[in-house]
C-alpha cells in the first residue's frame, strides 16, 4: 500500500510521513494566521482531490488527533 498525504493525497516517499511538504508548509503558515485558515486549506484540497477522498478511510485517525499532540 502506498503512503499518501492525509490532506491532499499525494504519494509520500517517507514511510513515516503523514502529509506532504506542501501541506506541511500550509499547516505552518496557517498557524501563523495568514489569509487562509487551515480548515479552508484542507477543504480546498479535498475539493480538488475528490478521487482520493472517496476512498474508505475507516479506522484512520482524524487530522485533529495528530495536530493536538
Report the DSSP beta bridge partners of residue 20: none
pTM over 0.85: no
pLDDT band at 69 (very low <50, low <70, confident <90, very high): low
Question: 45-56 pLDDT, tens per residue?
Answer: 888 876 655 556
Distance CA(37)–CA(29), nearest Å, equals 9
% of the chain surpassing 70 pLDDT: 77
- The region, left, alpha or beta by phi > 0 then psi within -120 to 50, assigned to residue 59 is left
Question: 1-51 pLDDT, tens per residue?
Answer: 678 988 888 899 988 888 899 988 888 877 676 677 777 877 888 888 766
Q: Residue 66: helix, strand or coil by DSSP?
A: helix
Amino acid at each position: 500500500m502506498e503512503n499518501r498525504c492525509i490532506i491532499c493525497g499525494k504519494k509520500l516517499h517517507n514511510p513515516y510521513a503523514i502529509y506532504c511538504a506542501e501541506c506541511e508548509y500550509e499547516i505552518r503558515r496557517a498557524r501563523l494566521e495568514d489569509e487562509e485558515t487551515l480548515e479552508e486549506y484542507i477543504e480546498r484540497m479535498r475539493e480538488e482531490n475528490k478521487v482520493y477522498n472517496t476512498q474508505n478511510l475507516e479506522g484512520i485517525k482524524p487530522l485533529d488527533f495528530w495536530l493536538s499532540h
